[in-house]
Structure 1
């Protein structure tokens, strides 16, 4: 099993930043003027050559991860833009280049789509932060790390939109329905305790106490869940009801992340909420590998180290803000 390779540096020197920018300018077919300017920069100081070679190695390691991040951002942005994002090679290359620069020069903690979710949110939790919110009717929401909700109460409905992440809802009983909307579906209750979690393009509802009516979309009939039942939905269609230990599933409220035969990709999605930068898996064959365990949520690096011992992936850390798994 390979040992993790650590390439950590909190910030780049001016020469390192210049070398990185030269790497970007030299991609494709640079003109004679660019090539001559680059050669003059190399000859200006001996450390320029050494630094450029080091940055070139870093470029080759980070570029696949940057391309994946760029593709993810482009796909997600299409949800918010009227005109589809071009899929041409120039666009993909430009996004990858921008992602590389952001990762290496400014750090990988910048995630541009968060502000879109947060713009319309009333309550937000930061990466690594579990936050409890008291609503005006006395109901409470525990937000998982890196989550966002929008709340709208009216005379006929108590409505919450889960814009990102997950929330555990303790609803005060009342005659006015309490609805949580997420990914085109909704969970509707009068008073109970349950979790709603965004998963990719869909969502999952898990009930700990009481009864919850769930429908995956406006054309689907509601299905009633009771204690320790769970259902997931995507694209307006719900899956089968599952029996689960919701207490263990929601142990994140007490600082524990528990998984039982969960796909590695799903586990990494949860870890990303607790890591201040980005975690990128470049080995698709490992994404579906099943893992189990219970871990302290505030130490995502220790969780990755434990998973590495079981799954056997390589770890590469860049600048303390990007972890590449392959």
Structure 2
């Protein structure tokens, strides 16, 4: 992680005047809890407190909420921050706390991301935010594992089985008489030799076929998909989605993210897997349709493009938590 510059911190570097006092207090609290908070930051916080009596009221309110979340407080972990892994875990805790503070303080939003690193627990292969990985299995099948994703693999006793635990994967399955099975959410994809993209979503999963055929087994139904066909399923329903160009399936492998009338919340959920920060989107803007193509190599530029193109604003709560809300 990069070091913080020795400059005065403001709650929202882009437009602090648009943040409510409660939001500013949350940003200050999270910033000051960071072990790299500087004396300059503390002096700037003190000046902010003196600037307006409402600031002090908001600070006391957020402090009361924070102390009611003692099990999340990062101070207990501060002495171990010299270790990178523990530092990342503590920052993840801060991000979680910031999200909870926003909600408890009445600033409703939808958190989009699980704590970084937790998705790797119990997985055979996993990736970090922004990382893509190529995996070749014992049978010759190839998996492109998307950013912030995880899989478990079982290739023994005449089985070819993969479980998508988090994120997204593109599967290029080697032909064999033994079916290749991929479990994801409440369903299973079965193939003999084909290529397809599978992505977990907040409620269920989405499968898109690039070549060959796949059979999706979920909710007691079997659905066969051909190239270009897309299916979403969750615990209560199956939904056929509009067909797509097979060349666009798995385009993220080229670090390009393509959207056509896709809800903003879904776009941000994708971008978050390539960004070091956790995102939150307000429900009143989550359904805005987005059409465009973004570079996964530069998710920050994609965020700014979205903010400049739609009636939304971006608020930063230190370097690891971003909120998208109505303008």
What TM-score, normalized by structure 1, do the two folds share? 0.71
For the 8 Å contact 2:197–2:249, the answer to whether it is kept is no
User: Counterpart of 1:148?
Assistant: 150
1:10-89 equivalence runs, <5 A: 11-13=36-38, 49-50=46-47, 52=49
Q: 1:279 to 1:130 in 2, by over 3 A?
A: same
> Does 2:227 match 1:227?
yes
Whole-Å separation in 2 of the counterparts to 1:59 and 1:139: 60
RMSD, aligned CA: 3.7
Deviation, 1:240, is 2.3
Whole-Å separation in 1 of the counterparts to 2:313 and 2:212: 44
User: Counterpart of 2:84?
Assistant: none
Whole-Å separation in 1 of the counterparts to 2:66 and 2:305: 34
Name structure 1 gaps, 5 residues minimum: 20-45, 65-89
Q: 1:228 to 1:136 in 2, by over 3 A?
A: same
User: Counterpart of 2:304?
Assistant: 305
Name structure 2 gaps, 5 residues minimum: 1-12, 17-26, 78-87, 97-112
Deviation, 1:51, is 6.2
For the 8 Å contact 2:116–2:128, the answer to whether it is kept is no
User: Counterpart of 1:293?
Assistant: 292
For the 8 Å contact 1:215–1:238, the answer to whether it is kept is no
Q: 1:48 to 1:232 in 2, by over 3 A?
A: closer
User: Counterpart of 2:128?
Assistant: 126
User: Counterpart of 2:321?
Assistant: 322
Q: 1:115 to 1:316 in 2, by over 3 A?
A: closer
Larger relative contact order (Cα-Cα within 8 Å, sequence gap ≥ 6):
1
Deviation, 1:117, is 3.1
Whole-Å separation in 1 of the counterparts to 2:45 and 2:174: 65
For the 8 Å contact 1:249–1:258, the answer to whether it is kept is no
1:161-176 equivalence runs, <5 A: 161-176=163-178
Aligned residue for 1:253, secondary structure, equals helix
User: Counterpart of 1:181?
Assistant: 183
User: Counterpart of 2:245?
Assistant: 245
User: Counterpart of 1:42?
Assistant: none
- Offset from partner CA, 1:143-192 (integer Å, 9 cap, x none): 11000000001333200000000000000000011001000201000000
Aligned residue for 1:247, secondary structure, equals helix
Q: 1:178 to 1:109 in 2, by over 3 A?
A: farther
Deviation, 1:96, is 9.8
Deviation, 1:99, is 7.6
Q: 1:253 to 1:51 in 2, by over 3 A?
A: same
For the 8 Å contact 1:204–1:231, the answer to whether it is kept is yes
Whole-Å separation in 2 of the counterparts to 1:230 and 1:193: 13
User: Counterpart of 2:261?
Assistant: 261
Q: 1:237 to 1:216 in 2, by over 3 A?
A: farther
Q: 1:115 to 1:221 in 2, by over 3 A?
A: same
User: Counterpart of 1:275?
Assistant: 275
User: Counterpart of 1:68?
Assistant: none
Whole-Å separation in 2 of the counterparts to 1:310 and 1:96: 40
Whole-Å separation in 2 of the counterparts to 1:53 and 1:248: 54
Whole-Å separation in 2 of the counterparts to 1:47 and 1:303: 31
